[in-house]
Amino acid sequence: MKDKIFIRNPLRIIFLTAFISFLLLLLLYGVTQLENKVEKKMIKISIFDVISIAKNNAISIKEILDEGKNRDYISYLEEDYTLQKRIERHLKILLTKNIKYSYILYRDKKGIFRFLVDASKPKEKAALNQKFDVESEKWFNIYKTKKPQLITHKLLHELSITYLVPIIQNGEVKLILAIDFSINKIEDIENMITIIKNVIIGIVFITFIFLIILIIQTFKYSVMKKVVYIDKLTNVFNRNYLQESEDFINLNDYILATLDIDFFKRVNDTYGHDVGDKILKDVARIILKSTRNKDDIVIRYGGEEFVILTKTARNDHSSALNIIERIYKNIKNNKFYINNENYINITVSIGVNLVPFKSKTFSEAFKLADIALYNAKNKGRNTIEIYDENEEQITNCLSISEINEAMDENRVICFYQGIVDTNTKKISHYEALLRIVDKDGTIITPDKILPAIRGTFILRNITKYVLDICYKRLLEDENIKINVNLNPQDIINDSILSILTTYAEDRSISSRLGLELVENEDIMTCLDAKENLSMLKDLGYKIFIDDFGSGYSNFIYLTEIKTDYIKIDGNIIKRILEDDVSFLLVKSIVAFAKEANIKVIVEYVSSKEIFDKIESLGIEYSQGFYFSIPTPFETKDLVVR
């Protein structure tokens, strides 16, 4: 992970390249100084120059081997043919007329010396792990002293020398660099130094060219990053940055929070989008001022929602959580000026995932923070909600990635269940029911889909997908009516409202597309929701309140939002035969609905006995297995009794 981040940061590569260039220039300077002294100390430094070069070469080889990040030198060389050739090229630099051989050996567990790299000519070159016989005790002394050893061989016409340099890893001699040379004429040594100098000059030249190219590319990258990854309005990171970087974010280092500005649409509608943009900039400024520049990450996720990653210790979330609380308080206490004199107060809802490292991916960790944000909104907003991993167990459900994949592959479909006119026993409407076709052909129902995406933007995407399916179905058959289930957040979502507004340009569509909403306090009390429902009714849509009687059940709000239909909760209907309280509740709901001119639908009509009971109450519509089971239109076989 760290390696990938290093590669993605070009400034680090520039610094490293510049540092290497500096070292090469120093080395070039040293070689040049050495060349100037060769003629004056011809005999004196003949041996010592070779020794010095051998030591420097050993150091260079060790630096190359250390690139293996603590891998054992012997096994590293044995296994990596490219590494062998790279070091062989280093050794070949040493070869002159007088330096005949340069090679690297090691001693195996039996004490036998063996070749690892040999820079000899092809005909004389030893094979990998070929045995090498030694005669001098100094070969063994090098393992004890860990110091270079000089072995002389007196021949008839020349002095032959073997020079051994230990290459040490973790305090232990692992390899021996051996050089065999003879002393004849000083020109050979001068030529060798000239070769080394020319090689270094070539490397320095190439390095400088690379450095110039890298600097240019880094400048281009910085400009591109500013354009592509920074939100122009708020000057924080944008969603592009998150998509590009989420795989590189170490979830062990952060807690993850999602922040949403409460009732931001109301600000835009009341004061205009210019003021809304100013509020967004001010909120972003406060978030940035409240976070730590080097430790925390702030991202504008979309609209008025921000993602905040605050640095934390693995077992101590207090400092990171303090940052989130500081953001919350600073926004709450700030005066947001809409002009030079007047200001408004803004609050935010924040969902926090304290343990993102428990999730397999960033997306899963984000989803849990988003669930906490959803809970914060449901509890009245203006609060911080911390995700409780024991609160919601999502088992045997599709993952977010699987649901996204199903949408991409057009495996999201609708089944349809008939809603029957109680008097005529004929189909009046169909309710569209979400289904996903698994890759093996299995039909997956909402209870295995919705828990994984509840409170996330994926749920809105599913809603758009279902709306599109039903819209196309209505275009194909102008004689049917279809109801679509919406969740409370859909009614205040601009993109959903835009889709419905576009559909309503054809009144034959809006008059046949019913909108079913689950009874919920958020729907009943949210001013935006009520205004939007009123607008949708003006566009020709019929409003259905689903699962009525299971939750808030405030009859007054039914008249405020001017609902057209209520669907009594099926759990009440299932008990209507044996439970007098359930029967009386249904009876009172029906009586109120008739007075308010609201039509009633009952669900879970599964038998003739239940149907007879609800028919006696004068309920207008029925839905359940007694009449039909959910099926695709292509294979529907509705049975009406």
The DSSP code sequence of 116-158 is: EEE-S-TTTPPPTT-EE----THHHHHHHH-S-EEEEEE-SSS
* pLDDT of residue 288 exceeding 80: yes
- Shared domain for 379 and 410, answered yes or no, is no
> CATH number, domain at 505?
3.20.20.450
pLDDT one-digit tens code per residue, 585-633: 888 889 888 888 899 999 999 899 999 988 888 999 999 998 888 888 7
CATH number at residue 169: 3.30.450.20
Residue 509 lies in a domain: yes
Prediction pTM value = 0.46
Q: Which two tokens stand for residue 278?
A: 């100013």
Asked if 380 and 422 sit in the same domain, the reply is no
Please report, for the chain, how many H helices and E strands are present, in that order.
24, 22
**Of 171, 170, 153, 154, which Cα lies nearest the Cα of 162?**
153
Q: Which residue has the higher pLDDT, 218 or 161?
A: 161
Tell me, yes or no, whether 422 and 497 share the same domain: yes
**Structure confidence by residue, pLDDT tens digits, 348-393:** 999 999 888 888 888 888 988 988 888 888 777 888 888 866 555 4
Q: DSSP assignment, residue 633?
A: G
Pairing mode, strands 482-486 and 427-437: parallel
Which CATH number does the domain housing residue 339 bear? Answer: 3.30.70.270
Structure tokens at 248: 């590189």
Residues 332 and 404 in one domain: no
Condensed to tens digits (0 to 9), the pLDDT of residues 450-499 reads: 876 765 667 888 999 999 999 999 999 999 999 999 987 788 888 899 99
Q: Where a domain ends, among 362, 386, 410?
A: 386
Judgement on whether residues 281 and 415 belong to the same structural domain of the protein: no
Mean pLDDT of the chain: 82
Q: Distance of CA 571 to CAs 310, 446, 568, 605, Å? A: 44, 18, 9, 11
| Of 532, 490, 455, nearest in space to 266 by CA | 532
- Show which residues are catalytic: 304
pLDDT tens for each residue of 22-68 = 777 777 677 666 655 654 454 455 677 777 888 888 888 888 888 88
Whether the CB-CB separation of 519 and 544 falls below 8 Å is answered with: no
Residues 274 and 166 in one domain: no
If you write DSSP's letter for every residue of 507-525 in order, what string do you get?
Answer: HHHHTTEEEEEE--HHHHH
Residues 306 and 407 occupy one common structural domain: no
Look at the chain and report how many structural domains it folds into: 3
* Residue 55 belongs to some domain of the structure: yes
Say whether both 412 and 558 belong to one domain: yes
Are 480 and 586 within one domain? yes
Dihedral sign computed on CA atoms, order 362, 364, 367, 372: negative
Q: Which residues, other chains included, contact 512 with Cβ-Cβ below 8 Å and sequence gap of 6+?
A: 474, 478, 480, 481, 482
Domain boundary among 386, 419, 445: 386
- The answer to whether the beta carbons of residues 158 and 150 sit under 8 Å apart is no
What kind and span of H or E run contains 105?
strand 99-107
- The domain of 610 spans 400-635
408 and 322 within one domain: no
Which spans in 157-272 are helix H?
Answer: 186-229, 239-245, 264-271
Q: What is the pLDDT of residue 520?
A: 60
Q: Both 477 and 566 in a single domain? A: yes
User: Is residue 222 domain-resident?
Assistant: no
Q: Are residues 252 and 340 in the same domain?
A: yes
Asked if the structure places residue 640 within a domain, the reply is no
Q: Say how many CA atoms lie within 13 Å of 155 toward its Cβ.
A: 12
Q: Within a domain: residue 631?
A: yes
Contact 180, 136 (CB under 8 A): no
